Structure 1
Amino acid sequence: MSMFKPSMLTLALIGAGVSSHTAYAAQEKKVDSDKKVEVIEVKGFRASVIESINTKRFSSEVVESISAEDIGKLPDSSIAESIARLPGLTAQRLDGRASKVSIRGFGENESATTFNGREQVSISDNRGVEFDLYPSEIMSGVTVYKTPSASLEAEGIAGVIDMQTVKPLSVDDRVVQVNGQYEQTSFDKLNPDGNDDGFRGTVSYIDKFADDTIGVAVALSTMTSPNQEKRWNSWGYPEFEGSDGKQYSILGGAKPFVRSSTLERDSAMLVLEASPNDQLSMVFDALYVDFKDEKILRGIEIPFAWGQGAIAASSATIDSESGFISSAVTQGQRVVVRNDYEDRDAELTSFGFNANYNVSETLSVELDVSHSSVDRKVWSLESYSGTGRGDARGVADNLGYTFLDSNTGAQFSHQLDYSDYNLIQIGGPLSWGWSSALNEKYGVVGTDYENQLQDGFINAPTIDDELNAIKLAAKQALENDFVDSIEFGISRREREKTKVSEGYFMTSGEFSYPNNPGMMMVPEEYRLGSANLDFIGMGNMIAYDSRRMVADGKFDLLAESLTNPSHATKSWSVDEEVTAAYIQANIDADIAGLPLTGNAGLRYVKTKQTGKGNAFNSVDGKVVTSPTMVEHDYSHVLPSLNLSIALDETQTIRFGVAKTISRPRLDEMNASINATYNQRPDENGNYWEVNGGNPTLEPKESVGLDLTYENYFSAEGYFSVAVFQKDLKQWVFDGTYEIDMTGVVDPISGELPPNSTGSGSGKVNGGGGDLWGYEVALTLPFNMFHDSLEGVGLMASHTSVKSDIEDQNGNEYDLPGLSDRIQSFTLYYENNGFQARASMRKRSAFKGDVYGLGFDTVQVDILGETIWDAQLGYDFAEGGFDQLAGLSMSLQVQNITEEPFTALSGDNPLQVRDYQDYGRTYLLGFSYKF
């Protein structure tokens, strides 16, 4: 048994009340009571730094951590922003907000997210959690596990991110606290009905009763957060062969717009903790979040090469190196003026109960029961207007474009006034909406108005995600020289995620054929003035409230699913039943006189998954569906080993090795397929030819190695260097597979085929490779150099990641979310109540997932970015103003340098797919503790 005593530094941290729960374990070791311990009284941001350092230092696994000095006072206004500053971690922005987190080069779908140790559901179509759903105002900390242990109740090749709430019995005094922030964007309102300011507020209460045996923590939080964006977005860049035999490319079309968003989030947290005696402790926690993201988007879709205009050859400027036509003019072009709205509503409910009972001095048992669910609805409205209905009616424009060298997209020239309500009217100015059902409804089959009746469109997908779990575990303390205790347990979790996809054609309620086949002038009561598109050279455009027009019945709606089979493949349900058992030995030994700690464990995971969906075909132009259900099961044995050897009181070497899994994306393992029945069997003897989801997909696998050196040279400082490597197998790529079609009949004859299998094409397991890299991290308090620098410090990290991955056919593959280089930097000062911080997070280019047409997930090439934030704060009590004790103020500036989000279409830097300028965000806040 290790007799290595904690240092004076550790004891001082414990005495100051700033060490983590893992550090308190050191208090149990033998200490000479006669020794005097100097108590370091540290508060504020520096206290949270020390807390985070100690969580990392005393953990059995390789972890990173952030901690709040008080509830509602995490270092950033967003959990994702705080996580993205940790070594090896970064975030992808979604509508200007850090949302999707990557760990060591792996995208968000390769990591798991837990809340108080319990896996969470997601509002996305897949597994990756969007962290802006979770309010940072009610969290006490976040721990990121880069290496797993057998007792960890979640799977992820990249790691596990655990968000934690406060434990009220661990708080010394009653806390009644109010936090508030005023938020302002640097852009004035980009839309006349948008918001450029908002407010956040949190009220929290923590107290203990009954001789400190019952504790309660309550937090109520509300947020109205604005976000604005100027976006350039291209349709694509078609290639063609010129008369000289050379390859050229040109802008196919563009969809630039201005966006005004308001994120509204109301949340409530409750934690009840009871410890009636030394044997029993119980905790119940609950979280409810009502989340609404409202977007107002206005812009002009500008066809170019894919339009009906004639491109003047004399106007073209060609980049000689790439053959890209960087500027040109098209004559006789018609555009689509867009007035769009998008509402994304979600309700999250999460609660859990944990009971721990000490059966004896050496044996304890644990019960944990939890529930997590999300109900998400999206209502995305597109409203079209122009000069005339269809491709050939109305006034055309002569449009020019010029691409800039700064990856910002193109500037346009035009001749028409798009803010003129007499000229620009509601209706489909291009021939969109090729629907036989739509043509039949309005009686235009065979006329020159056929396929010209889409005056707008509504996408309305929904997601329901529910997860229930139970865990029984025990821990037996041992007395020997190597293993301190044994943990073992079993768990069961059941998850069901269902997506229903639907879309609706919008047609002006005034349209009738042949009486009134034209456009509809925007009624006066719905006019909002204009939106300015000077940032792309298009001037002002009409702005109207299309959302209220739909609500008032000004449009007729027709379900797209009647004739478009894509909604059948996008609608699905996936059930997972996961049963796990584990055993883990916690190590505490001496090796050559040096203390060795850690754990060795084995986890067995049995999974049964069921995919439900639709097999569909088209009969007489109409979609015919048959229900499908495919069951599949598999199991994994996951060994893990974490070792930590203390070279002295400050230096530690860690080693970790483990087999881990990441479950496939849910949208890729659904059972909805496009099925074609052939009268003759294929080479495999199958009559059905199908494509879509693959419900027999199995998890990706990895064997990972981690080696870390850590030097905790100060109460507030440490240095670490780590190397890591992962051997990846069973990755998911495009391929072919066999699918069970039992019970699915030929839609023509209504009879069952001779056999019940089909030849499928879609995602399959196969291929793999290696990922490796290194991390360097430093937290340095400057008081080490001179007492006059008390309160000054920096935190910095650098991560380099490489990969060599191939699909089953030997083709190279880039992991989504992998940046070759990730850096973070924070310089801070805190003394006498004054706080100042400047933070930077930087990542190189990567492939990221964004929403495409119909809310499909699309992978694009995203350029690297460097984001700077700053914060000033003042605590009046620490500054000596006793009459204002409890009050603190803060000012934050986010995205100081106005770093844009830029995605390319291919390797040519001029071919910009997305250029999104969010401007800056200012937050002025206060906190008052009664």
Structure 2
Amino acid sequence: MKKIKPQTSKYALLLSPLFLGVSLATSAQDQALEMEEVLVTGVRAAQASAINKKRAAVSIVDAISAEDIGKLPDATITDSLQRVTGVQIRRSAGEGGLLNLRGSAQVLTTLNGESYLGANSITTVQPNFADIPSQLFSGVELAKSQTAAHTPGGITGIVDLATYRPFSFEDGLTLSGAAQLSTGAESSEADPSINGLLNWKGDRVGFLVSLSHSNANLANYYAGITGGGDSAGWSGFAGEDWAWGDIPEDSPLYGDFVADGGLDLNNDGDVGDTFWAYQGHAAYNRFVERERSGVNVSFQAEFGHGFELLAEVLHTAMDEHDRVMGIYHSDKWSRWGWFVPSHFRNTGDIADDRELSTVQTYTGNGRRVGTYSSVQATESESTNINLALNYDNGGPLRGSVRFVTADASQERLNSYMGFDLADGNQWGVAVQNYPSGAGATNPNGYAGYPVLTVDYRGSNPAWSGFENNANLDVLGNSIDGVAGQSIGAYLENVASYNLGALTSENNFQRGADLEVLRADGEWQFSEGFISSVDFGLRFSSRRVDNNEFDLLSPLGPNGCGVKWKATDVTLSDASCNWQDPNNPDIFYTALEPTPLSSLDGVLRVSDFGSTEGIPAVWLIDPAKMDRVELYHQNLYPGTYRSANPGRSYEVDFDERSYFAQANFHRNALRGNIGLRLWQADLSVLQNDVGSGNPYGAAETDLGDIKTDKSFTKVLPFLNLSFDVSGDLMLRSGVSKTTSPLDLNQWGGGLSVSYALDSVAGSPTEGQFIVVSASSNGNPNLEPWSAWNFDLSVEKYIGQASLFSAAVFYIDIDSFVVAGTVPMDLPDQDGVVRRTIAVNTSVQGDGATLKGLELSAKFDFSDYVDDGWLSYFGSDVNYTYSPSDSGAKSINGEALPLNDNSENLVNLVGWFQAGPWQARLAYNYRSERLVALNQTWGEGALWQEPTAFVDASLTYDINDNFAIFASASNLSAEKERYYLEYPDQFVWQFEYEPRYTLGIRGRF
């Protein structure tokens, strides 16, 4: 696949005198930005500023404002936005990252009114602000009912990020800055953060520079199924009549359940039941380190005769290291029936053609107990440049010409090391062949099938059974000639551990370029019902290049490219192998026996968050692998990047749009009606792939597949506002909206996962077989489109007080959902033997979002002149947002749209008196649907409700300096997930409370 090459701007050539000589009007977003900006200080003034923006807007909007220069009210932009009605967020390592609006992730992000290209959203539409320093922004505005003049995109709304601009400040020089230290209850690091702003404003010229740099170490513990965290693809249904095989009645572990035709695990007299099963269970210590940097530079100049030039650059960068140290117990993809359901519940529903029981406690004898270390190293960077020439000479004609160019890149490399305590006989590799001769894979490892119990019933997952004998056979009997020893004893002894696998896979390097040219005009009328007419045109071009790759190491005299350097990978494939020169029947193994103790960075870890019962285990400090490629090359010289063609693609997306909008005003009524013609050309370049290559290497690239499509949509807009009594306002809006898909939903290809078949007697025993797959890309999918209906009432009851209520109804006639489809896929040897449920994107239609938003902002000084009550205020809101995706659960109940919570509650109380300010905030989000068809085409993945509590305190030493402290996640909240039923726990993320102390200055 070809790489993106730098492009000469096709739109820059259009910046001709034809445009510059004509007075053009600014867009609706720019008009909003041109309203007088007041540099607010304090929580009271920030609330008043947000209310003023809402009141002045033509359509239905909400806003948040910085409490001081460089100080949005929460740790991240996303955390602040969760306080707005209708906004639902998702956290990453405890920090706000992804968000949706009114239940939809199809939300457009703009920067100062025009498209924004972020490094975390190169291939996606959903806003993700994890990489953006919040200190660079003065506020955020959310447009919930759109106008024809808005930048097109976004089904349920637009999030507009506002940076500081020179003319927003007082004349002369303004300096501000802050320094702070943060720490976590678990991480205990002293994380520094600094930011500063310099602004100079003259009579006609202004210049601004704003800088930010921070470092954070964040706890993010995990407990649940192996392979979890994103999807539950490593789950299955274990039927009583087949999953346990032929078990004799004298089996100590399973004998009590033996019945005619299988096992009767629930003692109901038959073998017609099935139990939710997992391939393995894991718990890990996980810390995420993020280093963020950002700079915003802005220049404004007035040239006279109504012309103003604006030039600004926003650059952000983030380096992230996600480090994991964990333990797991699994059966290595050999049996679904490798456990006894110690606690279970019969649901009465049917799954996999059997009566389904959920399982709360698993007691299993998986063949593999091991530990592992991994690191995910990500570098993200984006630059957005805006050039605008605005015209307003006080006459009837106003306008602007604007050019935006942006680029973003993100690179991620993963490294994984797994350590076995088993001796390898459990999957047929107790003794392997090496150039030095035959040798034991792990001579100090256990020889049996350890029995452990994992109990998910309580608030904390609990493991037990480490005193059990690890040297029992698969039926629970003693193994002749092998002394008994507990699995706990093996875990305690570092000599029991052997390196089982080293790999680097699912890496990517992606980049994007964006160019936008737009011209907007407004003609104002001095009389009549029509007060003005807006018009404009916009051209944009976006190109994305997504290259995914694995690291392969050349092994043997033939230089065979090997991804899985593992003790169970034998280099015997006919296409490339490593053969004993003296015996053609002997092939060498990819990874020689390597005791854990011989490696650099050995650690003993006992901290697995709230997960109970796990003893201390041995592994490698994952920070040793931070420089992933260098680490692999040091161990395996010549390691190189090998493209994964099935997951690499290019997408070009060009848009053209034209709009006209009439703004009207008569007495108490004002509004606008407009029409936008939106056209887009999509070009997708994918790779046609063949069968998989040996030793984990990706499929063969058979050539390119190019798909071209075009879309045209006519989008009408109507917004009405009626000022009933000066402080009571009614608003309504009707609009047709559209949004492109995530680009990987158009461009992504097929990705297949394999595992070694270690089932004795299986036709593919000892071979790598296909176990799961995903296929994200389908260039024939249609963009999202929807009709939006909004109605709101707003009661302004003071300078910083407001009560509002809004109802919305969104009829989505085209959307995309996550699902599965069955596909016959080949094993790694190219032979098709099995059908796999492939995770993919499918076209949906007929979904609805509807809801109610209630908001009450109170500054009690608006009601009382003095006294203790005048020092307090609040911001309380509730959102009710039911939805229907058209999909059904296992029991036939209707399912909502993905990522939508039906209930949202925000409670914020604040205090401001003299030099003191304080704020306490509570956020509740009800359960949300994560994905459909998680287990063999059935079962929905859900997240349980969450509740987060944050607090902050500020003391103004004088007019120039203030000290502040804050605490986030005081409730030590966890994110818990389940499959279909709340008692079918699947995994959890556990975040830490964090505390900050700092000083801020302004001159």
* TM bucket, shorter chain: 0.7 to 0.9
Question: How far off is 1:634 after superposition?
Answer: 1.3
Go from structure 1 to structure 2 and tell me whether the alpha carbon gap of 1:304 and 1:413 turns closer, same or farther (over 3 Å shift).
farther
Go from structure 1 to structure 2 and tell me whether the alpha carbon gap of 1:459 and 1:531 turns closer, same or farther (over 3 Å shift).
farther
Query: Who is 2:342 aligned against?
Result: 316
State which of 348, 360, 367 in structure 2 corresponds to 1:333.
367
Q: Counterpart amino acid of 1:128?
A: Q
Return the alpha-carbon distance in structure 2 between the equivalents of residues 698 and 898 of structure 1.
41
Q: Is the 8 A contact 2:744 2:776 kept in 1?
A: no
Say whether residues 1:774 and 2:852 are aligned partners. Answer: yes
Go from structure 1 to structure 2 and tell me whether the alpha carbon gap of 1:325 and 1:655 turns closer, same or farther (over 3 Å shift).
closer
Query: Who is 1:927 aligned against?
Result: 1000
Q: Counterpart amino acid of 2:951?
A: A
Question: How far off is 1:26 after superposition?
Answer: 10
State which of 111, 115, 122 in structure 2 corresponds to 1:119.
115
Say whether residues 1:381 and 2:415 are aligned partners. Answer: yes
Q: Counterpart amino acid of 2:593?
A: G
Query: Who is 1:519 aligned against?
Result: 594
Residues 239-278 of structure 1 deviation map (CA, whole Å, 9 limit, x = unaligned):
3224322333344311210101111011111011111325
Question: How far off is 1:287 after superposition?
Answer: 0.9
Q: Secondary structure at the match of 1:151?
A: coil
Question: How far off is 1:332 after superposition?
Answer: 6.8
Return the alpha-carbon distance in structure 2 between the equivalents of residues 348 and 316 of structure 1.
51
- Relative to the length of structure 2, the TM-score reads 0.75
> Percent identity of the aligned residues?
22
Question: How far off is 1:479 after superposition?
Answer: 2.2
Residues 38-90 of structure 1 deviation map (CA, whole Å, 9 limit, x = unaligned):
xx998411111111000001100100000114320111121001101011112
Query: Who is 1:708 aligned against?
Result: 792
Query: 5 Å matches for 1:184-195?
Result: 184-188=183-187
Residues 372-396 of structure 1 deviation map (CA, whole Å, 9 limit, x = unaligned):
2211011111111113564354314
Q: Is the 8 A contact 2:187 2:217 kept in 1?
A: no
Query: Who is 2:287 aligned against?
Result: 260
Query: 5 Å matches for 1:58-207?
Result: 58-107=56-105, 110-122=106-118, 123-124=120-121, 125-173=123-171, 174-188=173-187, 196-207=189-200
Return the alpha-carbon distance in structure 1 between the equivalents of residues 818 and 31 of structure 2.
46
Q: Secondary structure at the match of 1:55?
A: helix
Residues 508-547 of structure 1 deviation map (CA, whole Å, 9 limit, x = unaligned):
7999965984234443643244353473422212232456
Query: Who is 1:343 aligned against?
Result: 377
Q: Is the 8 A contact 2:147 2:717 kept in 1?
A: yes
Go from structure 1 to structure 2 and tell me whether the alpha carbon gap of 1:547 and 1:625 turns closer, same or farther (over 3 Å shift).
farther
Q: Secondary structure at the match of 2:58?
A: coil
Query: Who is 2:924 aligned against?
Result: 842
Q: Counterpart amino acid of 2:450?
A: N
Question: How far off is 1:397 after superposition?
Answer: 6.0
Q: Secondary structure at the match of 2:304?
A: coil
Say whether residues 1:427 and 2:454 are aligned partners. Answer: no
Go from structure 1 to structure 2 and tell me whether the alpha carbon gap of 1:149 and 1:422 turns closer, same or farther (over 3 Å shift).
same
| Runs (5+) with no aligned partner, structure 1 | 1-19, 28-39, 190-195, 429-453, 676-689, 738-747, 749-759, 878-884
Query: Who is 1:587 aligned against?
Result: 664
Q: Counterpart amino acid of 2:915?
A: G
Return the alpha-carbon distance in structure 1 between the equivalents of residues 296 and 87 of structure 2.
27
State which of 607, 611, 624 in structure 1 corresponds to 2:684.
611
Return the alpha-carbon distance in structure 1 between the equivalents of residues 637 and 359 of structure 2.
40
Say whether residues 1:543 and 2:543 are aligned partners. Answer: no
Q: Is the 8 A contact 1:114 1:162 kept in 2?
A: yes
Go from structure 1 to structure 2 and tell me whether the alpha carbon gap of 1:556 and 1:389 turns closer, same or farther (over 3 Å shift).
farther
Question: How far off is 1:732 after superposition?
Answer: 2.7
Return the alpha-carbon distance in structure 2 between the equivalents of residues 922 and 709 of structure 1.
39
How large is the Cα RMSD of the aligned pairs? 3.5
Query: Which piece of structure 1 moves more, 291-300 or 534-543?
Result: 534-543
Q: Is the 8 A contact 1:533 1:539 kept in 2?
A: no
Return the alpha-carbon distance in structure 1 between the equivalents of residues 312 and 303 of structure 2.
18
Query: Which piece of structure 1 moves more, 352-361 or 637-646?
Result: 352-361
Query: 5 Å matches for 1:465-614?
Result: 465-504=512-551, 505-507=563-565, 517-523=592-598, 525-533=600-608, 535-545=611-621, 548=624, 551-552=630-631, 553-556=633-636, 567-590=644-667, 595-614=668-687
Q: Counterpart amino acid of 1:888?
A: A
Q: Secondary structure at the match of 2:149?
A: coil
Return the alpha-carbon distance in structure 2 between the equivalents of residues 807 and 530 of structure 1.
44
State which of 400, 405, 409 in structure 2 corresponds to 1:366.
400
| Runs (5+) with no aligned partner, structure 2 | 1-29, 227-234, 241-262, 265-269, 348-355, 431-444, 467-486, 552-562, 571-577, 579-586, 753-773, 822-829, 831-837
Query: 5 Å matches for 1:279-294?
Result: 279-294=306-321
Query: Who is 1:865 aligned against?
Result: 946
Query: Who is 2:24 aligned against?
Result: none
Q: Counterpart amino acid of 1:154?
A: P
Q: Is the 8 A contact 1:295 1:342 kept in 2?
A: yes
Go from structure 1 to structure 2 and tell me whether the alpha carbon gap of 1:502 and 1:522 turns closer, same or farther (over 3 Å shift).
farther
Question: How far off is 1:413 after superposition?
Answer: 3.1
Return the alpha-carbon distance in structure 2 between the equivalents of residues 402 and 794 of structure 1.
44
Query: Who is 2:506 aligned against?
Result: 459
Question: How far off is 1:308 after superposition?
Answer: 7.1
Query: 5 Å matches for 1:649-664?
Result: 649-664=726-741
Q: Counterpart amino acid of 1:584?
A: Q
Return the alpha-carbon distance in structure 2 between the equivalents of residues 716 and 828 of structure 1.
13
Q: Is the 8 A contact 1:318 1:326 kept in 2?
A: yes
Residues 139-195 of structure 1 deviation map (CA, whole Å, 9 limit, x = unaligned):
001000001111111311110000001121121143211111211000146xxxxxx
Return the alpha-carbon distance in structure 2 between the equivalents of residues 585 and 671 of structure 1.
42
Query: Who is 1:797 aligned against?
Result: 877
Query: Who is 1:757 aligned against?
Result: none
State which of 813, 823, 827 in structure 1 corresponds to 2:909.
827
Q: Counterpart amino acid of 1:323?
A: S
Query: Who is 2:957 aligned against?
Result: 876
Q: Secondary structure at the match of 1:154?
A: coil
Residues 677-724 of structure 1 deviation map (CA, whole Å, 9 limit, x = unaligned):
xxxxxxxxxxxxx97622132212111111110010111101011111
State which of 428, 438, 463 in structure 2 corresponds to 1:411.
463
Return the alpha-carbon distance in structure 1 between the equivalents of residues 377 and 490 of structure 2.
26
Go from structure 1 to structure 2 and tell me whether the alpha carbon gap of 1:410 and 1:355 turns closer, same or farther (over 3 Å shift).
same
Q: Is the 8 A contact 2:897 2:929 kept in 1?
A: yes
State which of 398, 412, 415 in structure 1 corresponds to 2:450.
398
Query: Which piece of structure 1 moves more, 653-662 or 170-179?
Result: 170-179
Q: Is the 8 A contact 2:179 2:192 kept in 1?
A: yes
Go from structure 1 to structure 2 and tell me whether the alpha carbon gap of 1:604 and 1:238 turns closer, same or farther (over 3 Å shift).
same
Query: Who is 2:964 aligned against?
Result: 890
Say whether residues 1:227 and 2:218 are aligned partners. Answer: yes
State which of 716, 734, 744 in structure 2 corresponds to 1:667.
744
Give the aligned length.
808
Go from structure 1 to structure 2 and tell me whether the alpha carbon gap of 1:598 and 1:408 turns closer, same or farther (over 3 Å shift).
farther
Go from structure 1 to structure 2 and tell me whether the alpha carbon gap of 1:489 and 1:320 turns closer, same or farther (over 3 Å shift).
closer
Go from structure 1 to structure 2 and tell me whether the alpha carbon gap of 1:341 and 1:890 turns closer, same or farther (over 3 Å shift).
same
Query: 5 Å matches for 1:749-788?
Result: 763=841, 765-786=843-864, 787-788=866-867
Go from structure 1 to structure 2 and tell me whether the alpha carbon gap of 1:636 and 1:325 turns closer, same or farther (over 3 Å shift).
closer
Q: Secondary structure at the match of 1:667?
A: helix
Q: Counterpart amino acid of 2:377?
A: D
State which of 897, 900, 920 in structure 1 corresponds to 2:974.
900
Return the alpha-carbon distance in structure 2 between the equivalents of residues 612 and 26 of structure 1.
47
Go from structure 1 to structure 2 and tell me whether the alpha carbon gap of 1:258 and 1:418 turns closer, same or farther (over 3 Å shift).
farther
Q: Secondary structure at the match of 2:79?
A: helix
